[in-house]
Structure 1
């Protein structure tokens, strides 16, 4: 399996572009995939510099309907004529909003009619290929990220809190699993509980954002103790799992988790390869 981050908030390579978004290229023996598409066409320009041929991508998995994950899809569709788009129907043409740093829309509009032959809509779970599965996290056993409280969706007559029933998890592999969390809005522990309830296979890698935001403009989210408790729980429940994170995982949260997970926690960035 080959993994290259095409778009993220950070990079260590000055030749690559960054944005508040996430796009990961994943290649298996049989398939070439995109995990989200970032916020814009940044991932396309970075892919060219990283020698990734996006015209050969077979599948695009959209983790949820926020613009920093689906915003690059229109640009991708202009250069790729064959890839199937796997997405929750609840992520499409639903208006999402954030009140963090002032109310603003964080969704995009797509022409569903022109896409219908390429869409694979998944509301709950699906087997895409023998070694590729998609799930909606339904576990509520553990806490959800505090940052969710500033995220909303339009219900037609006003805004309501986003329940993230449009968020999908993707797993690759059979005996040894690679799990993509997107932003992890349903809570990292809940996501992993969902995977455990679906398969007995070992979770080897977990990659994506954990939505553990750093305090900003007077907004405080998880406490240091809450993040420490999360790290200890992950270390206990998943002692052989490596966690690769970035995007919406704050620097402070990363540093706190690192104290417990040590080498099992890795920071990704635009241009990161695994």
Structure 2
């Protein structure tokens, strides 16, 4: 069984060929699997069409779209993709369209899905919502809601939601999902932003799949926003599990990427736009 992953949207571009690849704040990964092609997140909408064309990714051949969570930088390209695919199943948590805000300098910014659900459904979005682990296809398991067990993974205090009466409260981001890919080399954990906490996600992955060997962790780890205590615990856990490869993207941040690179050496790589991984 061979699985081919292509990073279509990410904050940076490391690959120089093909020329013209673009970076943006966001994440999207294309998957070619024996069960068909899938898209995990769609970036912010600024680069996905350009990068897909240059990387030879054909959205007409997609079997489904999977969402890690309902932030604009992961869902913003959906409308453009739907204009190509037409009717297509979209797998996500039931809270995908819940209120997501970021508060910076005292101002609230709406960072949720840019369009109403009804608008996307008119374009062909066939939403399949599940808060429980969901097998999208053989060997592809969408995590479902991740239990928040770790006491040191407290999340980003600037991410907020609003009650029906307009009161602000910390966004639980219950819709934060990851994709667990079973391979002959072990489990691949594909992350959007890891808002649920990488330690929580890893433990959940082992529990729901029964697979203790983790071959690769790939995607946004949200370590840019974590405490020193959380960073140390995360590095130690990854080393304890003897993870073969760690591909950092998006919200890992320069500090997180540097510390991962220093700790894991050649096992670490930057999962930037244009990066292709075959398992």
Normalised to the residue count of structure 2, the TM-score between the two structures is: 0.88
Q: Gaps (5+ residues) in structure 1?
A: 215-220
User: Secondary structure of the equivalent of 1:103?
Assistant: strand
Q: 1:171 aligned to 2:180? A: yes
Deviations 1:8-52 (A, max 9, x none): 110023511111110111111221011100011511111001111
Is 1:199 equivalent to 2:209 in the alignment? yes
Q: Secondary structure at the match of 1:173?
A: strand
Query: Are 1:227 and 2:231 an aligned pair?
Result: yes
**Which residue of the partner structure matches residue 168 of structure 2?**
159
SS at match of 2:206: helix
C-alpha deviation, 1:115, in angstroms: 6.5
Match of 1:22 among 27, 31, 37: 27
> Residue by residue, what CA displacement relative to the aligned partner does 1:173-225 show, whole Å, maximum 9, x if unpaired?
255322112100111010000011112222211111111226xxxxxx523x6
Counterparts of 1:235 and 1:263, CA distance in 2:
13
Are the aligned partners of 1:228 and 1:257 in contact in 2 as well (CA < 8 Å)?
no
Structure 2: runs of 5+ lacking an equivalent? none
Total equivalences in the alignment: 264
SS at 2:236 equivalent: helix
Determine the structure 2 residue equivalent to 1:217.
none
Inter-CA distance 117–50: structure 2 relative to 1 (3 Å threshold)? closer
- Aligned-residue Cα RMSD (Å) equals 2.0
How far the C-alpha of 1:82 sits from its partner, in A, is 4.2
Counterpart-to-counterpart distance in 2, 1:69 and 1:150? 18
Q: Partner of 2:37 in structure 1?
A: 32
Alignment of 1:231-250 (within 5 A): 231-236=235-240, 238-250=241-253
Hey, what does 2:194 align to over in structure 1? Answer: 184
> 1 CA distance for matches of 2:115 and 2:231?
35
Deviates more, 1:78-87 or 1:178-187: 78-87
Whether 1:212 aligns to 2:217 is no
TM-score (norm 1): 0.89
Aligned with 1:122 (options 121, 130, 152): 130
